[in-house]
Amino acid sequence: MGFFSSVKKYKNQDYSKLKKESQSRGHLFIDPEFPPDDKSLFYTPGKVGQVVWKRPKDICTDPKLFVGGASSGDVTQGRLGNCWFVAASSCLAQYKEIWHQVIPDSESQEWDEKKPENYQGIFYFQFWRYGEWLEVVIDDLLPTSNNELIFIHSQSKNEFWSALLEKAYAKLFGCYEALDGGDLGEALEDFTGGVSNFMSLKEARKETNAEEHTALFVKMQKEMERKSLMAASIPAESSEEMEATTDCGLVKGHAYGITQVKNISLEGTGGFFGFGGEKLAMIRIRNPWGQGEWKGAFSDGSEEWNKISKSDREKVGLTFEEDGEFWMSFEDFCKYYDNVSICRVVNTSFFSLAKTWHEGVGHGSWKKPDRVGGCLNNKETFLHNPQFRFDITSDEDEPIMQLMQKSTRGEGGSQNITIGFTIVKVEENRRCRIHDLAYQEIVKSTVFRDSRSIFLRHTLKKGRYVIIACTFDAGVEGDFIFRIYSTTANSFFQLIHNKPEASALNCCAKAPQLLTQLTVMKAHDLEKQESGGADPYCIILVKGTA
C-alpha cells in the first residue's frame, strides 16, 4: 500500500476490538453484518440445496490458514460462477508481498495450537476500493454440504485462506451470488490497488504479425518480472457455450490465471556447452477448477516435452499431474485465448529504488442536469462532461491512465455502463473548463466498453492537456475515479469553473484583473524582414473591443 496509506474499517468493524469482546464474553465471534444464513448466500434461497454453516475446526481436525505457504494450487473454484475472482486469487498466491497486504498479519491470524485461547473465529482482509483500502472483518463460519466446502477450497482439506478470502470479498458486495460473473481485471485491482489493462487477442489476431507477437510476449514477460498479476479468458458467444470445453481442452466463458511467462531452451539446438541455442516462448496457465487442461502441444505428457532438457524441465517445475496447471507455447496461447488482463502495481513511493511514478487521482460524477454529455457523437453536449487538467513537463512522456466507474454488483453480476474518455491538448495557461473544441486539438479517444475500467497508455508531448471523461450515451448517470501516472509531476486536478474568477483583492483596483498569455502557433505570407521594414503584430478582439 505504500507509505502514509490509511485503511478504512468496513462497516466500522474493528478486528482487534471485536476479537477482545469475543474473548471477554467467552464465545466465538459471529458477524452480525454478514450472518451465516441464506441472505449471505444467494438472492434466491435454496439455490444449492441444504447448506450447513461450519467453522474450519468442525470440518477437519487441524485447520490452518496456510499449509506450506500460499500457492496457485490452493485455490479451486466451487459451485459459483466466479472464475474471474478465483483466477485472480491464483495469481495473488504467487506474490507474498501482495497477499501479505490482502491478508495482513497472517501469522497472528493463524491457528496457534499452543495458545488455543487466541482462536476466536474471527479474521480480517484488506481490499482496495476506488482509491481507498478497506479492512473487512468476517467470522469463520463457512457454507458446507456433506461436510465439504461449497465454494472456493484448497487442495489441502485443512487449508482455509482462500475460502475465507472469498467470504470477505462476498461480504463486500452483499452475498456470494453477487460474485457470479465479473471482469478479469476487477479482482486483480481490488487485491493490489493497481491499474488493469484489458487486451483483446481476438482483435489483434486479425492484423498481428510475428514481430508484434514477439513484442507482446516481451511485454508480458516484463510484467511478470514486475510481479504484475495476469489472467486470460475465452468468452462464450452464447449461453449454450458457457463453460463448454473445446476439443483442445480449454473452457469457454471461463477465466484462467497466468502463472509464468518464460523462454525455454530447446535441447540440441545450442553450440558449444549448449550456449546460443534456440528458445521457445512459453506460458504457464492455471484452470481455477483445479482440473481440465490444455490437450495440444506441450500439454501434460506430450511428446513435445522431449525437446526440453530434463534440467530445464526441473527448473520450470514441470509436473504431469491433473491439477489444472499446464504449459503451452505463446503462439498457441495467442491463437486460442481471446482476452488478457494485466494488472500492474504502480510504484508511487519515493523511498523506493524502483522506478517511481507521479500519481494524479480525481473522483467525479456523471450527474444531471449538466454533467451527462455523452461521447463525441453528442456534439452539442459532449463538453458538459467532467473535465480534468494535467501537465506533461518533460519533452515526452507515456503516462498510464485509467477511468474506473464505481459500478455496483447485484443479481446477475456487475452493473456497468459504457464509458470512455478523450484527451484534448489545450493552452498552457488553461485553468477553466473547455467550451469550444474548434481551436483545440483532440489527441486521443479511447474505445468505449461496458467494463468497470478503461485503460490507456499513450505518448504525449510536453504541454497541458484536458481529460474529458464520459459515458457513451448522453443522460446516463454514474460515479467514477480517474487515475493518471506520469514520469514527472502532472498537476492533475478537476476543472470546475466555467470562466476565470476575479480576485477579491483586485475588486477595486484600476489595473487589469486578469492576465492572459497567448501563444502564436503559426503565421504565413509575412513581408520579408531582411530590410528591417517588417513589424508583424496581432490584433486581439475580446467582446468586440480591440
Instruction: Give the catalytic positions in this structure.
Output: 83, 254, 287
Residue with cell 468505449: 448
Per DSSP, the three-state class of 313 is: helix
Radius of gyration (C-alpha) of the chain in whole angstroms: 28
DSSP 64-103: BS-SSS--GGG-B--SSS-HHHHHHHHHHTT-HHHHHHHS
In the structure grid, which three cell numbers stand for residue 514, read together? 486578469
* Interatomic CA distance for residues 319 and 301, integer angstroms: 9
Per DSSP, the three-state class of 290 is: coil
HSE-CB for 216 with a 13 A CA cutoff? 22
User: E strands within 67-225?
Assistant: 122-129, 132-139, 142-145, 148-149, 195-200
CB 139 within 8 A of CB 29: yes
Residue 323 exposed, middle or buried by CB count within 10 Å (0-12, 13-18, 19+):
middle
Who's near 256: CB < 8 A, 6+ residues apart?
87, 231, 232, 233, 285, 286, 287, 288, 337
Q: Angle at CA 127, nearest 5°, toward 170 and 292?
A: 60
CB 66 within 8 A of CB 105: no
* Interatomic CA distance for residues 182 and 414, integer angstroms: 6
Helix (H) or strand (E) holding 190: helix 184-192
CB 133 within 8 A of CB 8: yes
How far CA 362 is from CA of 334, 394, 469, 484, 495, in Å, comes to 35, 22, 11, 9, 10
* Interatomic CA distance for residues 405 and 409, integer angstroms: 12
ω into residue 369 within 30 of 0, thus cis?
yes
* Interatomic CA distance for residues 441 and 423, integer angstroms: 9
CB 260 within 8 A of CB 283: yes
First to last CA, the chain: 55
Q: Angle at CA 129, nearest 5°, toward 453 and 445?
A: 20
Per DSSP, the three-state class of 436 is: coil
